[in-house]
Amino acid sequence: MTESGKHVLIVDDDKEISVMLSHLLKSDGLQPLVAHNGRAAREMVRSNGPDVLLVDIKMPGVDGLEVMRQVKLLDEDLPVILITAYAEIHGAVEAIKAGAHDYLAKPFEHHEVIRVVRRALAEGGLKRKLRNLSSQVQAMNTLKEMMGPSDAIGQLISDVNRVAKSNFSVIILGETGSGKELVAKAIRQASPRSEGPYIPVDCGAIPETLLESELFGHEKGAFTGADHKKPGKIEMAQGGTLFLDEIANLPLGSQAKLLRVLQEKKVYHLGNTKPVNVDVRFLVASNQDLQALTTTGLFRLDLFYRLNEFTIMIPPLRERKEDIIYLAKRFLDATNMELNKTVKEFSESALEVLLTYNWPGNVRQLQSIIRRAVLLAEEMITEKHLDIKRVPVPGLAFTPKVQGLPWKELSLKEIVCRSTGAVEREVLAQVLKYTGGNKAKAARILQIDYKTIHSKVKKFGIPLE
């Protein structure tokens, strides 16, 4: 396998030697980078991520050994080759024991420089591959432990492992509480960007007036209250992964700007027309069908196509019966440790309730119910300890509304999608009328979380009495 195009950082205060080594490495197809002191070397390791470091031991100020120690804190697998005078070889050997990969004694032969650098590149690449493989295995094991041993989760883990190695944008679809961020974190951990930043953004939790500033950043004076320059979340994820949770809540104007970032790999601060280059992987999640939302105009079709390089569907908990008992027992053990209790098991009736319940809140709801049950129980969790109730809604009745004529140029899918939205609005309106506009109570009745009902009330423009 060729190592052409790899970056070699030369750190030497002697500019003539730096130039000579640069020409030598270029002639062999490598990409040289040059720093003349330790501080510059650290910055280049942070920003450029070189594959090998060539550093002179004897430099004024911070010497080569200290440079090596500092860059190893940034990248422990970065191979370091020390350049030393022949008379100082003993010191170089001692440095190798302290973590250097190899050394070159002055005056050195050109072919020897290339041989040592090539060997360092090969061994450094092998170390990174082994570390990435270990990280992938750990991510998959964690996902199985957190989500369950069912065949459905096994297929999900296979999809995560496959797409993690790429740089694809991924849409993660699943109901509230199903574990969308767990999947996002597993993709990141098993990816080549595992060492980079992971920046999560909840698009439904940030006020619309602040969302663009949070995502794209702003300049001082860009708007009232902007008293300093601030980088956005996209910029903060440089070299890593950005996770946009509940992306369906993103306003259309922000969707257009996000599409521009994805296409151009550039971000524009509010109040500035000068772009900032970004290298970021995008993972997005939604509890709604984004493709269906494009037919109603609530989500941009071009943004959907750009994000939809790969889609992962998380099956709801009610469709994974074998995971329910596994997770319930895991939450039982974890809560026993938390509360210093010794609740041992579930009664037969409790297990039946767990297996037959619909779990609208999925794994998050299951965890909450089991924690409460452990708190109340002594030795065994019975049906009476499980806070599983359905709240009836008196007088809830409506006539389904169907998209009216004309149906010209509308497909069956589009007609059904629009009609479903009308039904959803009618149900929400009636339940909110019943609760006197209390969104928290309505959310409990409909078995959805508060954030979801808040966004739907806004989406459908339902007046609150």
Q: What is the pLDDT of residues 318-352, one digit of tens each?
A: 999 889 999 999 999 999 999 999 999 999 989 98
- Same-domain check for residues 110 and 185: no
Contacts of 210 (CB under 8 A, 6+ apart): none
Considering the domain architecture, whether residues 158 and 122 belong to the same structural domain is answered as no
Residue-wise pLDDT for 278-319, tens only, equals 999 999 999 999 999 999 899 999 999 999 999 999 999 999
Please indicate, yes or no, if residue 136 is contained in any of the structural domains. no
State whether 62 and 169 are in the same domain.
no
Pair of tokens at residue 180: 């969308």
Higher per-residue confidence, 32 vs 97: 32
Structure tokens at 387: 């806070």
**In a domain? residue 2:** no
Pair 124, 61 in one domain: yes
Q: Tell me if 140 is assigned to some domain.
A: no
Domain that holds residue 463: 394-465
The mean per-residue pLDDT over the stretch 1-12 comes to 73
Question: In this model, does residue 465 exceed pLDDT 90?
Answer: no
User: Which CATH number belongs to the domain containing residue 357 in this structure?
Assistant: 1.10.8.60
Question: Is the residue at 176 inside a domain?
Answer: yes
Copy the structure tokens of residue 23: 């020409």
CATH of the domain at 417: 1.10.10
DSSP string, 229-270: -B--HHHHTTTSEEEEETGGGS-HHHHHHHHHHHHHSEEE-B
Among the three residues 93, 128, 163, which one is the final residue of a domain in this structure?
A: 128
Q: Which pLDDT value is given to residue 391?
A: 47
Say how far apart CA 138 and CA 161 lie, in whole Å: 11
* pLDDT tens digits for range 148-162: 889 899 999 999 989
The enclosing domain of 273 has a CATH number of 3.40.50.300
The answer to whether position 139 is within a domain reads: no
Q: Strands across the sheet with 102-106, in order?
A: 31-35, 7-11, 52-56, 80-85, 102-106
| 296 residue type, one letter | T
Question: What are 281's strand-pairing partners?
Answer: 241
Q: Are residues 339 and 323 in the same domain?
A: yes
Question: Average per-residue pLDDT in the chain?
Answer: 84
Residues 153 and 279 occupy one common structural domain: yes
The total number of structural domains that make up the chain = 4
d(CA 181, CA 172): 9
- The strand pairing partners of 439, in sequence order, are none
Among residues 283, 313, 343, the one where a domain terminates is 313
Asked whether residue 202 is assigned to any structural domain, the reply reads yes
Q: Is a pLDDT exceeding 90 seen at residue 15? A: no
If asked whether residues 183 and 106 sit together in one domain, one would say no
Q: Give me the percent of the chain exceeding a pLDDT of 90.
A: 36
Q: Is residue 135 part of a domain?
A: no
| In a shared domain, residues 38 and 119 | yes
The CB density around residue 32, as the number of other CB atoms within 10 Å, is 18
Does residue 194 sit in the same domain as residue 272? yes
The mean pLDDT of 230-238, rounded to a whole number, is 91
- 294 shares a domain with 325: no
Looking at the fold, whether 301 and 335 belong to one and the same domain comes out as no
Q: Is 141 inside a domain boundary?
A: no
Picking from 265, 294, 313, the residue at the C-terminal end of a domain is 313
Does residue 187 sit in the same domain as residue 239? yes
Distance of alpha carbon 3 from alpha carbon 206, whole angstroms: 45
Does the pLDDT value for residue 59 go beyond 80?
A: yes
